């Protein structure tokens, strides 16, 4: 074969690099993630669950505005908001990333089987139809309601519904590619199915999966906030952005306490907007039509 000097991934990366805005968000998220990982080990950090008490009066330091001692202030029972927000961001991002990985992994596997194994086509289609006909939030509420609240429940409930889109897209691509002549030839020559899937079909799916995964993260973080609002979120001892926003919501009418809602809301919005922008820029960059 002639070497045209065209490489799909090089071109994708080059096209992505051209988009300065998304590059900025990418760098921002990289710094952000490094920061929230090392934050507890930095000097002068407080614990997210300790209630701070004034040494002289013995009273709890409640609702302290952001200042030198408490960088983001304290909440209504005297916990340090700076520590709680970063700890909450870790929880929420952890949920987001795990959900993104799992639901796309499940979606990929089911989608490939759905498209490739004709015997299972009907049954998977009917399962898909049942779940797809229901409002996702209703399924989330029902599952979270019947299980114990916790990080695992949250991840599980989101994965149950989240694989649908990925599976459908993967299936459509698989159906298109599986009967191309080179695959039929390969099958006749005795290549096992897993090898055809791995070598001939998976490369077509990579860009879709990366896109879906980057968009799953903000969605999962949003669902966490929603479930917490309903009362099906994480216990207060595990700070999460949903918890913090829900706590802060009560103080929105008091101007001096509004920071308790605004800071977590801002952090969350920066994360979701960044991932959304990165995902969309990647989708554009991975389209070969944009490579020239």
Partner 1 sequence: MIRYISSRLIQSVITLFAVLTIVFMLMRLMPVEGYLGESYDKLDEIQREKIIENLGLKDPIHVQLKKFYKRVASGDLGVSIAYRPGVPVAEILKSKIPYSLGFGIASLSISIISGITLGIFMADSEGKILKRVGNIYIILINSIPAAIYYILIQFYITDIFKLPMLFYIDRPISWILPVLSLSLGTTATYALWMKRYMVDELNKDYVKLAMAKGLKRREVMKKHVFLNAFVPMIQYLPSSILFTISGSIYIESLYSIPGMGGLLVEAVQRQDNPLVEAIVLIYSSIGIIGMLAGDVLMAILDPRIKLGKREGRI
Q: How far is the CB of 65 from partner 1 (least distance, A)?
A: 19
- Could you say which residues in the range 49-108 bind partner 1, by CB under 8 A? none
User: In the set 125, 152, 180, 184, which binds partner 1 (CB under 8 A)?
Assistant: 125
**Is the Cβ of residue 52 or residue 246 nearer to partner 1 in the bound state?**
246
Helix (H, G, I), strand (E, B) or coil at 233: coil
Q: Are 66 and 259 in contact (CB under 8 A)?
A: yes
Q: Which residue has the tokens 């690099």?
A: 17
**Binding partner 1 by CB under 8 A: which of 3, 56, 57, 122?**
122
For residue 86, what are the CA distances in angstroms to 116, 148, 185? 44, 25, 55
Q: Measured from the CB of residue 233, what is the shortest distance to partner 1 in angstroms?
A: 11
Q: What's the CA dihedral at 190, 194, 199, 205 to 10 degrees?
A: 140
Q: Which letter does DSSP use for residue 199 in this model?
A: I
Which regions of the chain does DSSP assign to beta strands (E)? none
Regarding 281 and contact with partner 1 (CB under 8 A), the answer is no
Please select the residue that binds partner 1; options are 276, 284, 290, 291, rule is CB under 8 A.
276
What's the DSSP call for residue 50?
A: P
Lay out the site mask for partner 1 across 217-246 (x = CB under 8 A, - = otherwise). -x--xxx-xx--xxxx---------x--x-
User: Per rule CB under 8 A, is residue 126 in the interface with partner 1?
Assistant: yes
x-or-dash pattern for partner 1, window 176-215, by CB under 8 A?
----------------------------------------
Query: Under 8 Å CB-to-CB from 95, ≥6 apart: which residues?
Result: 151, 154, 155, 158, 220, 221, 224, 240
Residue 108 near residue 209, CB atoms below 8 Å: yes
CB of 245 to partner 1, least distance (A): 7
Interface with partner 1 (CB under 8 A), residue from 34, 50, 77, 138: 138
Three-state DSSP at 195 gives helix
Task: Tell the smallest beta-carbon distance from residue 288 to partner 1 (Å).
Answer: 18
Q: Which of 207, 141, 128 is nearest to 168 (CA)?
A: 128
Structure tokens at 108: 């990929």
Task: Give CA–CA dist 291/217, Å, rounded.
Answer: 27
- Interface residue list for partner 1 (CB under 8 A): 122, 125-126, 128-130, 132-138, 141-143, 145-146, 168, 171-172, 218, 221-223, 225-226, 229-232, 242, 245, 249, 252-253, 261, 265, 268-269, 272-273, 275-277, 280
């Amino acid at each position: 074969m002639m070497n045209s000097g065209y490489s799909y991934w090089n071109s994708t990366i080059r096209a992505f690099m051209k988009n300065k805005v998304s590059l900025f968000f990418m760098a921002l998220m990289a710094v952000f993630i490094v920061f929230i990982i090392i934050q507890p080990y930095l000097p002068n950090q407080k614990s997210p669950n300790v209630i701070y008490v004034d040494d002289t009066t013995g009273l709890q330091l409640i609702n302290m505005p952001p200042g030198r001692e408490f960088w983001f202030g304290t909440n209504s029972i005297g916990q340090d908001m700076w520590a709680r927000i970063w700890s909450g961001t870790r929880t929420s991002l952890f949920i987001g990333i795990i959900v993104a990985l799992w639901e796309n992994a499940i979606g990929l596997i089911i989608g490939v089987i759905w498209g490739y194994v004709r015997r299972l086509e009907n049954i998977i289609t009917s399962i898909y139809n049942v779940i797809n006909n229901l409002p996702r939030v209703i399924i989330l509420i029902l599952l979270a309601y019947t299980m114990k609240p916790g990080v695992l429940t949250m991840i599980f409930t989101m994965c149950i519904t989240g694989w649908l889109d990925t599976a459908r897209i993967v299936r459509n691509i698989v159906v298109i590619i599986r009967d191309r002549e080179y695959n039929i030839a390969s099958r006749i020559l005795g290549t096992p199915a897993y090898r055809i899937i791995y070598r001939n079909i998976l490369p077509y799916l990579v860009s879709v999966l990366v896109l879906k995964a980057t968009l799953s993260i903000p969605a999962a973080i949003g669902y966490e906030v929603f479930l917490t609002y309903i009362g099906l979120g994480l216990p207060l001892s595990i700070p999460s952005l949903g918890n913090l926003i829900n706590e802060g919501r009560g103080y929105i009418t008091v101007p001096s306490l509004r920071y308790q809602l605004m800071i977590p809301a801002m952090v969350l919005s920066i994360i979701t907007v960044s991932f959304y922008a990165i995902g969309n820029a990647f989708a554009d960059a991975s389209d070969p039509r944009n490579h020239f």
